[in-house]
Structure 1
């Protein structure tokens, strides 16, 4: 059995959740697992089964609003990484991110063996330079690195996304299970379904007898208030991540764009109606391991641009998806799950 192993995923909540199966594979053969996470993904790291300790640090080459590079800050995280006692590390990244800056810091911290996926020549920074063929879903991509490093999931582990349980009790907030969650917000405008469509969908769902819960982050409270419109329960800004997981766990279906809560829904096993803008590939980033209905033109001109703001006037890839189509998808999903 390995000693303390450090695993790193430095970006957002959804990215951290998608790394979960790989982290569990490491945990199956490690005495302890330390996870290095960024401030945007820290709460998800705390929810991952197999993680014993979380170290938080904002990496200036990963964060979308990066702080200036600060020598004192960099040397401080090197010391914190050294203090973990890890002698082995796996650096998990998306295809467009480099593992090498962190590998350098890990070498400075005394980590003896480092593995990562890297297209760039790593010199002496990596002991395992893994390459991935094709375009697998993000959890499988990460798991392939873990396997190459000698870490395998136990036979009883199906490799789906997961969170620590038990989750908080939310009955007093949302009542009995069996509602529909609508999560209207996304981290960038290019991934968000038009607000007026969200409002229309909530009205139509409630008119058809569905109980609807609207969720969102604290900075999305105005959005969730508008979308709930007095017809649905508005939980915008009123849940931490573990509480949100519990709310999603009690839902029959979650309606969401490509954003962290869609992956959190998958992690608790709830089907997703995914309003998915093709600025990134659904093959990689769609909700993983649960029944999913994918809505949105995946061949739209914005395909693969990774744009934050839609480059096509009118945002047609998602604006052309109507509320009635979403309601049909929700009801079809509930019928299958019944």
Structure 2
């Protein structure tokens, strides 16, 4: 049995989607250290199979990168050396390189390193894994673990999952069934307007749903406006673990392509995914639960990776009618809709 470091250094959703890979490693290793960036650490704390966490802001990954200094990289190398992993798996998105981190891990004395890499790695990698096509991100990362010899146990179906038990949030959710609307996204191009989200909340309430609106502390103004008088505003009132518990108790979660959509999926809750096609839905749609994908997937912004919508009026999301959202929620909330064993279900309307 070995000590393995698994790295995923970007956002909350990316770390959650790394969960199946982490569990595969944990099934065979004596100790698993998860290396995250500061934006993903709280998600790492929720992953089964993680024994301890390291956090470091990678200058080639973080959206607000720090300057590269010998002092900073040297301190990171010393930190890894103290952890003394026997092996490391570096998980990255398709547009990120694992090689800068591999270089630092080599300097820290890590004897075996594996990663998905299109670039020639020289002596930086012992396993240079290739992935064909555009599989879901969770599957892509799990394939690296499998190539390294780490298979999931037979009773683990490979969907994202959370440590249980989650906190008691009944003081926030109250009694009875509810639907969650999470209106914000970390990237503006993936987020509908506040006015559009408010119309959706009103439409859901008019259909008889009790609606909770969730968001981070920095999103309180948004959630207050979206909730209005038709919903309960939980903006800024939950930790990430408490948000996971709120999402876990929901009948359905309505959210754009953002971390809480993946948090809902990891909690086992069906998702109405308001998906702007700036990145491919095949890779980044909610995984492991039933979902309905809404949004024009052939819009002009398709695969642009734009952070701000380049099309006036944001038609890929603003063109979704509240009635479509209500129909999707009704479809996913009906009895008998259950999570499939190993893949997400797309249910177009």
TM interval, shorter chain, is over 0.9
**Equivalents in 1 of 2:304, 2:115: separation in Å?**
25
Report the Cα offset of residue 173 of structure 1.
Answer: 1.3
Q: Which runs of 4+ in 1 moved over 6 A?
A: none
SS at match of 1:269: coil
**Equivalents in 2 of 1:222, 1:333: separation in Å?**
29
**Equivalents in 1 of 2:164, 2:143: separation in Å?**
26
Q: Which residue of 1 aligns with 2:189?
A: 190
The 8 Å contact of residues 177 and 251 in structure 1, kept in 2 or not, is answered as no
Instruction: Trace 1:84-163 onto structure 2 (pairs within 5 A).
Output: 84-163=83-162
Count residues with an aligned counterpart.
337
**Equivalents in 2 of 1:68, 1:23: separation in Å?**
30
**Equivalents in 2 of 1:220, 1:25: separation in Å?**
35
**Equivalents in 2 of 1:325, 1:257: separation in Å?**
15
Matched, 1:307 2:306: yes
**Equivalents in 2 of 1:136, 1:164: separation in Å?**
25
Q: Which residue of 2 aligns with 1:247?
A: 246
Cα distance per residue 1:193-234 (max 9 Å; x no partner):
122111011111112221100000111100000000022111
Cα distance per residue 1:86-131 (max 9 Å; x no partner):
0100000000000000000100110000000000000000000000
**Equivalents in 2 of 1:280, 1:67: separation in Å?**
25
Q: TM-score, normalised by structure 2?
A: 0.95
| Structure 1 gap segments, 5+ residues each | none
**Equivalents in 2 of 1:259, 1:6: separation in Å?**
26
**Equivalents in 2 of 1:279, 1:318: separation in Å?**
11
SS at match of 1:5: strand
Q: Which residue of 1 aligns with 2:340?
A: none
Q: TM-score, normalised by structure 1?
A: 0.98
Q: Which residue of 1 aligns with 2:343?
A: none
Judge which range, 202-211 or 296-305, deviates more.
Answer: 202-211
The 8 Å contact of residues 177 and 250 in structure 1, kept in 2 or not, is answered as no
**Equivalents in 2 of 1:273, 1:177: separation in Å?**
20
Judge which range, 137-146 or 66-75, deviates more.
Answer: 66-75
Instruction: Trace 1:324-335 onto structure 2 (pairs within 5 A).
Output: 324-335=323-334
| Structure 2 gap segments, 5+ residues each | 338-349
**Equivalents in 2 of 1:336, 1:127: separation in Å?**
49
**Equivalents in 1 of 2:204, 2:184: separation in Å?**
18
**Equivalents in 2 of 1:255, 1:193: separation in Å?**
12
Q: Which residue of 2 aligns with 1:40?
A: 39
Cα distance per residue 1:227-273 (max 9 Å; x no partner):
00022111111111100000000000000000000000000100000
Q: Which residue of 2 aligns with 1:280?
A: 279
In angstroms, what is the RMSD of aligned CA positions?
Answer: 0.9
**Equivalents in 2 of 1:118, 1:335: separation in Å?**
43
**Equivalents in 1 of 2:283, 2:202: separation in Å?**
32
**Equivalents in 2 of 1:90, 1:178: separation in Å?**
41
**Equivalents in 1 of 2:307, 2:336: separation in Å?**
34
**Equivalents in 1 of 2:116, 2:283: separation in Å?**
15
**Equivalents in 2 of 1:10, 1:178: separation in Å?**
36
Judge which range, 165-174 or 176-185, deviates more.
Answer: 176-185
**Equivalents in 1 of 2:149, 2:333: separation in Å?**
40
Report the Cα offset of residue 322 of structure 1.
Answer: 1.4
**Equivalents in 2 of 1:267, 1:337: separation in Å?**
19
Report the Cα offset of residue 336 of structure 1.
Answer: 4.5
SS at match of 2:45: helix
Q: Which residue of 1 aligns with 2:207?
A: 208
